[in-house]
Structure formats: structure tokens, C-alpha cells
Structure 1
Amino acid sequence: MFNNVGIGDPSSSSILDEDDMTAVFERVMGVNVLAALLGTKHAGRAMVAAGRGGSIIITYAVLGLARSTSAELGKNGVRVNCVSLSVVATPLTVLHYQASEEELEALGEVISTLKGVMLKAKDIVEAALFLASDESRFVSGHNIMVNGASSVTKIF
């Protein structure tokens, strides 16, 4: 299933326009993200029930938001970027996955191609600080992958 639902805002409102930006965001994200989630849910159920596997392709939302707003806000010297990460053991992920910090670190080691180093929250903070600093003054509309190449390699 190519889950490519997506709408834009025909009014071409600016992200700086406080009057209607929340309503526009809720409408657009309600279609672009919630509809994609529900479409994936129902297609996934049908594919699992059929027992033949399948493929679901989803368009992007948060990265798209970063890229589109970087184009608009860049005209005013504002940079917008995204940070994508891998498994990092934090109190929230321990709670979410119902796993110990050690188990999450072991999982992180399995999926990362960078051996001998473990992803820590500090690594994500440093990437964000770089993006917030003048050292990245010409970086905008980018997605920094802080994941030990787990997103570009075969894990299992």
C-alpha cells in the first residue's frame, strides 16, 4: 500500500501567522499523519490476515515539516533542522519498552554498526547543540541521523 495521503494549506498561511496556524496545523497533520497511521493500521491488519506479507510505504511528516519550514523561515535567517536517533536508554525509553537500561544498551549495540561505542542522551544533546550553534550557520533543512548508521544497514 502506498500510503501517500497528504494535503497542504491552500491559504498559504505563514508559520509566523499566529491567528490561524494552529488550526491549519491540526487540519493538515490530522490528514497527513493520523490518516497515514489509520491507513497503515488497516492495511497492516489485512496484510497480516492474508499471511503473505506486504509492503506499506508512508510519506514523511516531521522531517517534511522541518524541510518546508526551513524554506520559509530561511528567508529570515532562521534555520530549521531535524535530529533522528536510534535506541538510547533513558528513563522514558526504559518505561516505554519495559526493559532495563542494560537491555536497551544491548539492543543499541546490536543495531548500530559503530562497535565499541554506545549511544547516550549526551550524543543527541551534542547534535542539537551543534545545530543551535553558529558552527552550523549554513545548515538548514537537514536531518542529522544520530544512530550509528542503523538506519542505513541491515540489522538482522
Structure 2
Amino acid sequence: MGLSEEIMNSSHKDLIVQDCCTMIDVQLASKSGMSGIALKAAFAALKGIQPGYIPNVIESLLPVCLTAIDPIWSEGVQHGEPVKYLTANSNRTANALLSVTDARVKNTKRQLVRGTYEKFRNSAEKHVQEAVPDLAQVIGKYANN
């Protein structure tokens, strides 16, 4: 069973979505300077699209994202420490996750989403890499290794 099926078919699906939302909020809160202000403003605009927009997006992206990082997670399981392995391979993990969001944004009909994503895409890899340890902890909390 792949990571996506394991986590998304569990009774914890709502909890993992909630934990991912919390993780994103914590990551955003840690950003400072002009880029941090810009990221926070952009995220606030996305949250304003409709109530529950961010959790709904996370719920729809999570299965595809988990499938994208499943090979890296599986390597970590073979090494006995999937959370640490995902963290140690944050560059690969970030690129796998960004390949999912790149494809999804390409097909979105929401101009606000596309424009916001395109504006921040060049710096996204750095921010996603920084979030990988927290994401790995969330996944590790729910995965049955």
C-alpha cells in the first residue's frame, strides 16, 4: 500500500489535513522581512477566496503529494527512519511536491491563485525545503511503518 492510500484511507484524514493547515500557519508565522510580509499577504488573499479554501485545497492536493513523495518515504522506511530520511532529502522532497503544485496551478481557472503562485514560484523551493521537516513529522504521525 502506498503512502497516499495508507494515510488518506485512514480515519485520520481530517486530522492530517488540519495538521497540515497548522504546519503552514506555523511556517508562515516564522517568515520575516519583506518576503515574509508578502507571503503572509498572499496567503491571506488565498484564504479570502472562500471559507475553508485552504483546507479544501490541502485535502485535494494531499493524495497526489503523498504519491509524489512515496518513493522517497519508501527509501526512508528501508533505512529505518522515514521521517529523518525525508528531512535529509528535503531538496528531492520539495521538488516532488512542487511538481504537483506546478501541474495543478497550470490547470486552475482562478486567476488569483495562478498569479499568486507564479509570483512566488521562484522562491518556493527554499520555503518548501524549510517546511519538509515539519511535513515529515506530520506524515510520520499518521503513517503505519
TM-score band, normalised by the shorter chain? under 0.3
Give TM-score, length-normalised by structure 2.
Answer: 0.27
- Between Structure 1 and Structure 2, the one with more strand by share is 1
RCO higher in structure (CA 8 A, sep ≥6):
2
Give TM-score, length-normalised by structure 1.
Answer: 0.25
